[in-house]
Structure 1
Amino acid sequence: MSLIGDILPLSHIVLDLEVSSKKRLFEQAGLLLENEAGLARADVFDCLFSREKLGTTGLGQGVAIPHGRHASVKKAVGAFIRTLEPVAFDAPDGKPVSLVFVLLVPENATGDHLEVLSKLAGKFSVKTVREALLAAQTAEEVHRILVEE
């Protein structure tokens, strides 16, 4: 399996989520990771929101990688969410976001955290990857796109 594949089970992929704001997106990410990874939804929300206050995790081109470190996270965990309608994210290009990869890592993680972020940023920088993710019909398709080297 790949680095991304190790932290992104199919159950952590949500397509066409209806949310109206970054805050609602973080709430839904918290709910997803509470149900699927056993993390407290408040911890997920607080972690993502606190990191976002330091500066946007929007990359541009309709993509964001909200991420953070938290003591309750025992190993890196990811979730991919495609929103039904793009959400304002304060991205550098000013464009709203509809492709979101949430990444949470243990408090003491450094190298793995940066490696996953780098791999994701590289993948999302490719226009054909973004287009494929927007067109994907199933979680399996999304998973394949994100894990293929």
Structure 2
Amino acid sequence: MNAISQILTADQILLDLDASSKKRVFEHAGMLFEQKLGMPRASIFDSLFAREKLGSTGLGQGIAIPHGRIKGLKQAAGAVIRLQTPIPFDSPDGKPVTLLFVLLVPEQATEEHLQILSELAQRFSDRSFREKLQNAADAAGVLALFDAAEH
């Protein structure tokens, strides 16, 4: 099992979310992690938004990996969000985003967290993987794709 499989569960996958902006996506991520981790949604939103102000976390090809450091978080946590309608994300290729992997890491991030970001970037650079994620019918299908990609 790889790092991504350890931080992603079916209840951390939102498919076909109706959100009109980065701000709305970050609000939904905050609510999701508040329910899952008991962390205050405002601190999650603030962390994601602050990181985004430093530069877009959009990778291109309709993908973004918003991430933030969270005080009091013990281990990394992730969520996959697939949007109903693409939103602008200031990605390098100018394309709007439909797939996001939201990554939260402890305030004192370690090499492991950089490894997770690297692994995500590598997976999302694979066109076939992106297309399968876009077409996954449910959360179980998304999890299976991440699990299969590591073998």
Bin of the TM-score, shorter chain as denominator length: over 0.9
Task: Give SS of 1:73's match.
Answer: coil
User: Which residue of the partner structure matches residue 65 of structure 1?
Assistant: 65
Where do 4+ consecutive residues of structure 1 move more than 4 Å?
none
Counterparts of 1:78 and 1:38 in 2: how far apart (Å)? 14
- 1:5-16 equivalences in 2 (<5 Å): 5-16=5-16
Counterparts of 1:77 and 1:40 in 2: how far apart (Å)? 14
Counterparts of 1:98 and 1:25 in 2: how far apart (Å)? 11
User: What is the deviation of 1:121?
Assistant: 0.2
Counterparts of 2:88 and 2:147 in 1: how far apart (Å)? 27
Q: Percent of aligned positions with the same letter in both sequences? A: 56
User: Which residue of the partner structure matches residue 107 of structure 1?
Assistant: 107
User: Which residue of the partner structure matches residue 120 of structure 1?
Assistant: 120
Counterparts of 1:3 and 1:113 in 2: how far apart (Å)? 9
- 1:71-110 equivalences in 2 (<5 Å): 71-110=71-110
User: What is the deviation of 1:73?
Assistant: 1.3
| Residues 1:139 and 2:139 are matched in the alignment | yes
Counterparts of 1:22 and 1:99 in 2: how far apart (Å)? 12
User: Which residue of the partner structure matches residue 21 of structure 2?
Assistant: 21
User: Which residue of the partner structure matches residue 53 of structure 1?
Assistant: 53
Task: Give SS of 2:90's match.
Answer: coil
User: What is the deviation of 1:109?
Assistant: 1.6
Counterparts of 2:143 and 2:37 in 1: how far apart (Å)? 17
Q: Which amino acid aligns with 1:134?
A: Q
Compute the RMSD of aligned alpha carbons: 0.8
Aligned residues: 149
TM-score (norm 1): 0.98
Q: Which amino acid aligns with 2:109?
A: A
The runs of 5 or more residues in structure 2 that have no matched partner are none
User: What is the deviation of 1:57?
Assistant: 0.2
User: What is the deviation of 1:72?
Assistant: 2.4
Superposed CA offset, 1:70-126 (max 9, x none): 212111000000000011100000000010000010011220110000000000000
